[in-house]
């Protein structure tokens, strides 16, 4: 349409083009803090032996560690029926590969000094002939706002330590930086996206669905690619909350291999505070 207009009114075209250009520039800069645009070229899944998927050292060492901070002033978990908490809580999730071990999180506000502990639950599942590791979810509640907590999971030489920062007190004027990520997958482009996000100073990821793209695989490789993705995002997700929602790639309806329970991998691996928001379905909640 602009072309036709320009062809008829050739003297007017440069002026109009300049006007449109300025309008776009003025509008286009609002709120953009990075010039990064992901490559449009097809990217390939990173091989499983790449260091980005490295398995931590030690027998039964916790892996795929991730945290999720709740920002709601209610009872927060399927495991806690008593209400009236003051708000600040985290669900820490991780996987132990060889045996269940403990679902315990030790934590505190100074490094190497864990004054408190919390006990969680453990679950596992199968997908075709793949048998998952032991997936732990542990609610840590009664936390202070705007505070750095150190935490430790696992036992002995295989234990691992991380930290997270709780969000500021809920207030319209509280500054808080979210990242929004969807369709991440585990390609070389995924790694670039994750690294750019981590350099951005974002404090929480709002994940808008399509996590691992493990459904591109078949048979036991589906579960294996969920494990690799868990290790892939740990570099960020163990240190700050990623708030989950599911996409179509989480459905994994694969009747040809006998898997017909939608969202089976996702629901076992990612816990959400759906009960606290009055939902009866972990796929739908507010936070
Ligand atoms: Fe998608």
The whole model's pTM is what?
A: 0.82
Question: How many angstroms does the Cα of residue 234 sit away from the middle of ligand 1?
Answer: 21
Strands 104-108 and 116-119: antiparallel
Question: How many angstroms does the Cα of residue 128 sit away from the middle of ligand 1?
Answer: 24
Domains of the chain: residue spans and CATH: 61-277 (2.60.40.380)
Question: How many angstroms does the Cα of residue 210 sit away from the middle of ligand 1?
Answer: 5
Question: How many angstroms does the Cα of residue 48 sit away from the middle of ligand 1?
Answer: 22
**Cβ-contact 87, 170 below 8 angstroms:** yes
79 pLDDT exceeds 80? no
Question: How many angstroms does the Cα of residue 10 sit away from the middle of ligand 1?
Answer: 43
CA dihedral (228, 234, 237, 238) positive or negative? positive
Mean pLDDT, rounded, for 216-224: 97
Question: How many angstroms does the Cα of residue 28 sit away from the middle of ligand 1?
Answer: 24
Q: What is the pLDDT of residue 179?
A: 93
Q: What is the pLDDT of residue 65?
A: 86
> What does the block give as tokens for 190?
């995924």
Side-chain half-sphere CA neighbours of 84 within 13 A:
1
Percent of the chain with pLDDT over 70: 81
Question: How many angstroms does the Cα of residue 213 sit away from the middle of ligand 1?
Answer: 9
CA distance 88 to 86: 6
Q: What is the pLDDT of residue 275?
A: 79
Q: What is the pLDDT of residue 17?
A: 42
CA distances from 259 to 128, 239, 275 (A): 7, 33, 27
């Amino acid at each position: 349409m602009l072309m036709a207009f320009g062809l008829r009114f050739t003297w007017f075209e440069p002026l109009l083009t300049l006007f449109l250009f300025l309008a776009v520039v003025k509008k286009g800069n609002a709120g953009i803090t990075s010039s990064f645009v992901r490559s449009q070229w097809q990217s390939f899944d990173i091989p499983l032996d790449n260091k980005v998927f490295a398995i931590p050292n030690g027998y039964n060492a916790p892996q795929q560690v991730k945290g999720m901070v709740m920002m709601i002033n209610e009872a927060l978990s399927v495991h806690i029926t008593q209400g009236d908490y003051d708000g600040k809580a985290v669900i820490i999730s991780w996987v132990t590969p060889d045996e269940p071990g403990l679902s315990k999180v030790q934590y505190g506000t100074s490094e190497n000094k864990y004054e408190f502990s919390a006990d969680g639950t453990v679950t596992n599942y199968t997908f075709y002939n793949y048998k998952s590791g032991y997936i732990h979810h542990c609610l840590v509640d009664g936390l202070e706002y705007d505070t750095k907590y150190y935490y430790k999971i696992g036992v002995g030489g295989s234990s691992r330590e991380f930290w997270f920062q709780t969000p500021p007190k809920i207030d319209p004027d509280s500054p808080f930086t979210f990242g929004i990520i969807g369709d991440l997958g585990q390609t070389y482009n995924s790694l670039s996206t994750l690294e750019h996000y981590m350099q951005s100073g974002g404090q929480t990821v709002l994940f808008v669905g399509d996590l691992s793209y493990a459904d591109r695989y078949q048979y036991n490789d589906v579960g294996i690619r969920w494990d690799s993705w868990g290790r892939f995002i740990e570099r960020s997700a163990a240190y700050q909350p990623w708030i989950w929602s599911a996409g179509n790639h989480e459905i994994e309806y694969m009747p040809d291999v006998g898997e017909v329970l939608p969202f089976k991998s996702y629901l076992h691996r990612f816990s959400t505070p759906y009960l606290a928001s009055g939902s009866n379905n972990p796929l739908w909640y507010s936070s």
